[in-house]
Structure 1
Amino acid sequence: MTTPSPYRRQLLATYLRMHLVGAGAGIRLAELLAGDPWTDGRLDHLPDELADEATFARGWAASVSGLSESWVPPTFALTAGVRRVVAPLRPTRGRFRRVLALEAMRSLVLAKKAMWELGIAIGDDVVDPGTVEQLRIYDEDAKRQARTLQELHQRASSEVFT
């Protein structure tokens, strides 16, 4: 592994931190989708998987930049607060809203997959080999998650539009 410039390391850390901002919302949406009986338990694992991946990404960003992630817990607390306000509205219930929620969740998973792909692509230049291997695992998980979300989205769409 070559030693990357401090600028490149901070650029990668900033990129990862931008993904972490979306991760909080993604976890909250995954919790709502998993709580929808219509999904037949197919997404029950998703909130925990996303939370584990966010923890990994937070540690990865900190290791790359050397700066703490002290802003992340307040961001996650904010999204949790939004969830408490929105949850009574049941944003994933109802056929049309379910289609939109599944579509949004799939988009978030594909964005996260792009982050894993970027880490794999830059590989040894900025990312240590152990991290690259974990990124490969997360990339495969994201493929599975996106496939499941696509299947559910297609089912939900056919219920609404046919």
Structure 2
Amino acid sequence: MPDIEIRVTVNGRPRRATVPPRLTLADYLRETCGLTGTHLGCEHGVCGSCTVLLDGEAVRACLMFAVQADGAEVTTVEGMAAADGALSPVQCAFRDHHGLQCGFCTPGLVVSATAFLRDNPDPTDEQIRDGLSGNLCRCTGYQGILKAVRAAADGTGAAEETA
């Protein structure tokens, strides 16, 4: 099957590429775009490490072909920060409330939490757990993640300074 030309906006930047029809969106982002924040864990859509936003919706990049993103806007974890490099409220909350440990699952969790909080700005702890249930973490025990998402929702993303 011949390669296919796609046009995708990635983190606000228009891109055009000719890709094999079976190239996953995750591999396109990592290999063609050089955006290695989209991690590949299980490559079966179970772990959530490859989560990106596709036209604003959280999707598993390992389960999509790059050609399916033709004409779409994709936001990776690298696109979560402001243009000046300032971290997003969710990124700050994960950093300040120990929502990460080894960091492998963190990009997918940050992207998932960002989409979740956009749609659920005042969630309960149970809603947070349910909203992030598609993301697996083997290191943190989830308490720091829950605390970070709660802090981002409350607008208290940054930890309080101690005197």
Instruction: Please state which structure has a larger fraction of its residues in strand.
Output: 2
Q: Shorter-chain TM-score category? A: under 0.3
Identify, as 1 or 2, the structure richer in helix: 1
TM-score by length of 2: 0.26
Which has the greater radius of gyration? 1
Question: Relative contact order (alpha carbons < 8 A, sep ≥ 6): 1 or 2 greater?
Answer: 1
